[in-house]
Chain A
Amino acid sequence: MNRLASRLPAIVEQHQREILAEWVRLQLESGNWRAGRLQESQLRDESQKFIGLLAGTLQNTVQFDARNAQWAELREFLSELSRSRATQGFSPSQVATFVFSLKQPIFGRLRLALAKEPEALADAMWEINTLLDALGLYTTEVYQQAREAVISRQQEELIELSTPVVELWPGILALPLIGTLDSERTQVVMETLLQRLVATGSSIAVIDITGVPTVDTLVAQHLLKTVSAAQLMGADCIISGIRPQIAQTIVHLGIDLSAVATKASLSDAFALALKRRGLAVTSSTAAARG
């Protein structure tokens, strides 16, 4: 579209204040802004800043191009807005609505200013419509990226959180595994367990797999690797919590766990660990009764 022929930039520039007032009024009315944790003053500031940047950029171009430097400032502003709204709890469509809701006040202004020139009005309407659509979609894209970053960070945190190594007794550690074991998670699990063995000077570790839904060849290999690494460091592992189906699977898959001590329950494993450390549990009441 020919820039010289377009009436849009001049009209937006000239009526910037009226458009802003109308836009803010509409936004406050719609209640959309209340969805997240947003202050009214912040909404006003952001709206004003956006209109200012838009009016300024329109003087140069009316076609949005994310890679073009002319749009850099507006793009930067929208990215920031999208990220902050994402953390304030807005949905992507609510973020995009911020941009889309500007259509109505601008359309209104264009209709007044170009009442006698239907062709110019149609052109300007088309331009602003296309432009605001593009900008709205851009906020959605940024929002999604921000969300993905949050998710991948949470995944990493979850991996770390989900590998608690607990001390059952001085010198005896337990690692209750919960959920599916993939190779990335297993590496974290292995490292955590081995580091805790060194830090606590524990020579026995019980790996409890009660909470692991399935054991396939890969998971079994990971477990065996952990056991081997612990042995190289001078510690023994006992695997506990092997459910009947898992025992069957292990045999059907032809996985050899004969080099590892296995126990059905965590308490059996604990008893074995105590025995290996030369400790025993006795009942004090039984002794009293004779």
Chain B
Amino acid sequence: MSIEPTTLPVRSGEDVVKVRQAVRTLAMDLGFSLVDQTKVITAASELARNTLTYGGGGEVRIERLNQGPKRSGVRLTFEDRGPGIANIELALTDGYTTGTGLGLGLNGARKLSHEFDIWSQPGVGTRVTITRWK
């Protein structure tokens, strides 16, 4: 069950900052510890940057998850209509990059999340979903 999903654009560097702020607000609201807040916004930042740099921009859906009183979390879905990823396994390797980063973006976001899901088709786009529980 999830309530109040928000969708934000990811089209500029300033959008990336806004995404981080929105994710932090939600994580704080759910009572995440400071370290957990930092982990989820860092993951959000990595993925937002990927959407911008490799996907040519897109959007993110931010969801609050509530599964019973003890289990709450944040789910983020980044989607773009960019060139897609031909070899997902390779893209998930630390240090691999086609751009200018350190190549830690995708795998870094995976390490900082409890659930990670990626869908991509060359020429169609990419969708990455991560979940971090409290």
Give A contacts to B, CB under 8 Å: 187, 191
Contacts and interface: CB of A to CB of B under 8 A. Distances in A.
Contacts of B33: 191
B35 interface: yes
Interface of B: 33-35
A226 B6 CA distance: 36
Contacts of A191: 33-35
A187 B34 CA distance: 12
Nearest to B34: A191
4 contacts: A187-B35, A191-B33, A191-B34, A191-B35
Contacts of B35: 187, 191
Nearest to B35: A191
A187 B35 CA distance: 9
Nearest to B36: A187
A187 B39 CA distance: 13
Nearest to A190: B35
Contacts of A187: 35
A211 to B, nearest CB: 24
A12 B34 CA distance: 58
A206 B55 CA distance: 46
A143 B123 CA distance: 60
A158 to B, nearest CB: 17
| 4 A-B pairs closest in CB distance | A191-B35, A187-B35, A191-B34, A191-B33
A275 B69 CA distance: 52
A2 B34 CA distance: 59
A202 B80 CA distance: 46
